[in-house]
Amino acid sequence: MNFIDQVIDKRKNWISISGVIIVLTLIMFLIRGLNFGIDFTGGSILHFEIGEEFETQEIREVLQNHGLEDSVIQKAGGEGEESEVVIRTVSLDEDERNEIFNSMQQVWPQMTEDSILRSDNVGGVIGAELRQQAIIALSIAVVAIILYITFRFEFNFAVSAIIALINDVFFVLLLFSIFQFEIETAFVAALLTIMGYSINDTIVIFDRIRENLNLYKNYKKEEVVKMSLKRTLTRSINTSFTTLIVLGSLFIFGGITIRPFVAALLFGVIIGTYSSIFLAPNVWLILQDRLGSKKKFNASSHSEA
């Protein structure tokens, strides 16, 4: 039995794996939850250019004088020298933020007003609005995908694609819950990017299935799906591999500030490739067996690649 045969003939195993991912995600939500950042919970963000390398403990000692030693401190910058610091802490007024900067200047005299890269407050109300807008954005994306695939293909293809996307999103959320990566507004952009990447890969496979359904009408659907996967597998793997090379470079050299965003994309591309090959075609086969197809594909509108 070759690789493609195992993908299709053992479809219940792959679908079970996705079911386990969703259940584990829900369990982790109850046990650990998600580590929402200041963008969602509210607080202050201070981003300073110190001008030289430093130790996180030095920053914490400065903050200790202000009773903020429990703040989240991240080094930032790049090109081998992390000379910037991002401090995420409770909400502070302008005077309190200036006092912290003055304390930093006493330790690092080279810091000037230009060293303040960011000094903002994000309110809890704004965080609630951001959560609401994030849910709306993701919901609109899902509805638009269902409508588009139903119009271009058929409803069973749309349902299969959405189930694959749900698997992708839950897998990324599971890893973020396990590792407690901080979730900020950029995470929503990462999820939408993952959905776009995954649906693109799935559409390529579905398009080949639709094409072969018209060309090989006497074949069993399982054989058509296997034939379609064989013809798109190399393309899917090569595309994912080259994308992962770029994301891997960004994760290593892009700096700590964008690392959670890139991590989400890395996880998403890997699971998106998996769901496009292992999950979406198999869900479509099951739906076809149980619900059938109400759409007649027109052989004259497609050509063999």
User: Region 3-8: what's the mean pLDDT?
Assistant: 87
Q: Which residues of 20-45 are buried (b: 16+ CB within 10 A; e: fewer)?
A: ebbeebeebeeeeebbbbbbbbbbbb
Res 120: pLDDT: 80
Higher-pLDDT residue of 296 and 8 is 8
pLDDT of residue 302: 43
Q: Give pLDDT tens digits for 23-51.
A: 998 898 888 888 877 777 778 888 888 88
User: Residue 117 above 80 pLDDT?
Assistant: yes
| pLDDT score of 146 | 83
Instruction: Report the 10 Å Cβ neighbour count for 243.
Output: 17
Contact partners, residue 207, CB within 8 Å, separation at least 6: 153
Structure confidence at residue 304 (pLDDT): 39
Q: Which comes out higher in pLDDT, residue 172 or 134?
A: 172
Model pLDDT, residue 223: 92
Query: What is the model's pTM?
Result: 0.71
pLDDT number for residue 126:
56
Nearest-5° Cα angle at 198, 140 to 165: 55
| DSSP per residue, the chain | --HHHHHHHTHHHHHHHHHHHHHHHHHHHHHT--EE-HHHH-EEEEEEE-SS---HHHHHHHHHTTT-TTSEEEEEEETTEEEEEEEEES---HHHHHHHHHHHHHH-TT--GGGEEEEEEE-HHHHHHHHHHHHHHHHHHHHHHHHHHHHHS-HHHHHHHHHHHHHHHHHHHHHHHHHTPEE-HHHHHHHHHHHHHHHHHHHHHHHHHHHHHHH-TTS-HHHHHHHHHHHHHHHHHHHHHHHHHHHHHHHHHS-STTHHHHHHHHHHHHHHHHIIIIIHHHHHHHHHHHH-------GGG----
Taking all residues of the chain, what is their mean pLDDT, rounded to a whole number? 83
CA-wise closest residue to 265 among 138, 169, 200, 130: 169
Per residue in 76-86, pLDDT (tens digit) is: 765 556 788 88
What CA–CA distance (Å, rounded) separates 299 from 216?
A: 9
Q: Return d(Cα 292, Cα 280) in angstroms, integer.
A: 16
Q: What is the pLDDT of residue 299?
A: 43
Q: What is the mean pLDDT of residues 113-122?
A: 84
**Over the stretch 245-299, which tens digit does the pLDDT of each residue have?**
998 988 888 766 677 788 888 988 999 999 999 999 999 999 988 876 655 554 4
Per-residue pLDDT at 137 exceeds 90: no
pLDDT number for residue 242: 92
d(CA 28, CA 30): 5
Per-residue model confidence as pLDDT tens digits over 176-231: 888 888 787 778 888 888 888 888 889 999 999 989 988 888 888 899 999 999 98
* Percentage of the residues of the chain whose pLDDT score is greater than 70: 90
